[in-house]
């Protein structure tokens, strides 16, 4: 069973940057995605990447500010968040699925993914 562990959350002032990391263990994954959930709001897709060809997808709200990448560490993705805004405050979750999944659909349908990390808090204050 694949397990996901997020790290890198914290508090930052508006306009600042944070970098989140998600490491998957226990199996091979095809793609990995980031979601976030603010208090009182539904979980929303943020970014997604296919690990083989590194194709990326982003929510409109974070395009140009967030960057999802993968590096040589197997089954590891990062979410570089720049120019953070108060509205970015949320618990950020990493997610994947045991098999292949379409990133564009997953970002709009969080429930389509079966494997989730525990989440990491990101707080942006002005």
Note the pLDDT of residue 72.
Answer: 67
Q: Give pLDDT < 70 ranges for the chain.
A: 72
Note the pLDDT of residue 71.
Answer: 82
pLDDT in tens, 67-94: 999 986 789 999 999 999 999 999 999 9
Note the pLDDT of residue 14.
Answer: 98
| Those residues with Cβ within 8 angstroms of residue 83's Cβ, 6 or more apart along the chain or in another chain | 15, 17, 65
* Residue closest to 112 by CA, chosen among 120, 121, 123, 103: 103
């Amino acid at each position: 069973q694949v397990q996901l562990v997020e790290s890198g959350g914290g508090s930052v002032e508006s306009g600042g940057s944070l970098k989140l990391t998600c490491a998957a263990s226990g199996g091979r994954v095809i793609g990995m995605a980031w979601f976030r959930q603010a208090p009182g709001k539904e979980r929303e897709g943020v970014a997604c990447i296919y690990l083989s060809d590194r194709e990326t997808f982003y929510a409109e709200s974070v395009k140009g500010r967030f960057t999802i990448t993968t590096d040589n560490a197997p089954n590891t993705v990062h979410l570089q968040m720049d120019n953070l805004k108060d509205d970015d405050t949320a618990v950020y979750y990493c997610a994947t699925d045991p098999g292949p999944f379409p990133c564009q659909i997953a970002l709009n349908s969080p429930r389509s993914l079966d494997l989730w990390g525990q989440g990491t808090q990101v707080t942006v204050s002005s």
